[in-house]
Amino acid sequence: MNDTLYQLATVAIPMIVAIVFHEVAHGRMARLLGDRTAQDRGRLSFNPLRHVDPVGTVFLPGMLALAHAPVFGWAKPVPVDVRGLPHPRRAMMIVGAAGPAMNFALAAVAAVGIGILARIEPGAGLVAQFVFDNLVNFLVINLSLACFNLLPLPPFDGSHIVEGLLPERAANAYARLRPLGLPIILVLLVVLPWLMPAIDPVRALLVQPVSWLGEHYLALASLVAGRPLDA
């Protein structure tokens, strides 16, 4: 297989799975709390075609991975309407937290899978290597996606968690920043690093927690493998 296509496949497949499960987790948690919006629009399905954005879910992450840049992406957001629920702000906090929680759980599944495959002899073949590479990327992508979405900036999940934790007056003031969320993200992700390459606040906030979590998930993989695994 062409090396570029191989790399794209080992990024695109885990990225699609991670994002689809992330979005479905939001919708299913909303349904559990009483909001049927996602269910009525057929968005609780794990069918990737209902969630994948060709640019944000496949093309952009693949290009970033090939360029050895931080990988991130997005999907078609699952529609949620908690305004009719008791304590809607708290409900939205729980719905928002469900996506990253799902990614942390999927990272644990990836770690177990890595540990199991590590027990297979090196000569197991191309298929086993392909699965192993997908699992490694699946682990990193899920941890990155979870931490990225926990940033306390609109429209990320972290902003809903912050709103749910703040007192009402402070939460209302914070919510007024929501229309500014996209410009703020563009400045932090694109403009600031381009103007001042030495300053990359988002990457600085993400690299350390993702690395720290990766070490602990790798420890789980080593435990399953029965031997230490290299980072």
Strand partners, 52: 75
pLDDT in tens, 125-141: 788 888 999 999 999 99
Q: Does the pLDDT at position 71 exceed 80?
A: no
pLDDT top residue among 50 and 231: 50
State residue 16's pLDDT score: 87
Give this prediction's pTM: 0.87
Q: Which residues of 24-33 are buried (b: 16+ CB within 10 A; e: fewer)?
A: bbbbbbbbeb
pLDDT in tens, 12-69: 889 889 989 999 999 999 999 999 999 999 899 988 888 888 777 777 766 766 666 5
What whole-number distance in Å separates Cα of residue 211 and Cα of residue 218? 10
Residue with token string 């229309």: 179
What single string gives the DSSP state of each residue in 31-89? HHHT--HHHHTT-S---GGGTB-IIIIIIHHHHHHHTTPPP---BPPPP---TTSSSHH
State residue 198's pLDDT score: 74
State residue 107's pLDDT score: 97
What whole-number distance in Å separates Cα of residue 89 and Cα of residue 91? 5
Residue 95's contacts (CB-CB under 8 Å, 6 or more residues apart) are 26, 29, 30, 33, 35, 80, 82, 160
pLDDT band at 1; cut points 50, 70, 90: low
State residue 5's pLDDT score: 79
What whole-number distance in Å separates Cα of residue 78 and Cα of residue 50? 9
Q: Does the pLDDT at position 221 exceed 90?
A: yes
> How remote is the C-alpha of 226 from its chain's centroid?
28
CA atoms within 13 A on the CB side of 137: 27
Q: Does the pLDDT at position 177 exceed 90?
A: no
- From the list 23, 121, 168, 215, the catalytic residue is 23
What is the amino acid identity at position 127?
V
Strand partners, 75: 52
Mean of the per-residue pLDDT values for the chain? 85
The yes-or-no answer on residue 23 being catalytic is yes
**Number of neighbouring beta carbons within 10 Å of residue 161:** 19
C-alpha distance from residue 137 to each of 19, 49, 61, 176 (Å): 13, 21, 12, 37
What whole-number distance in Å separates Cα of residue 175 and Cα of residue 83? 15
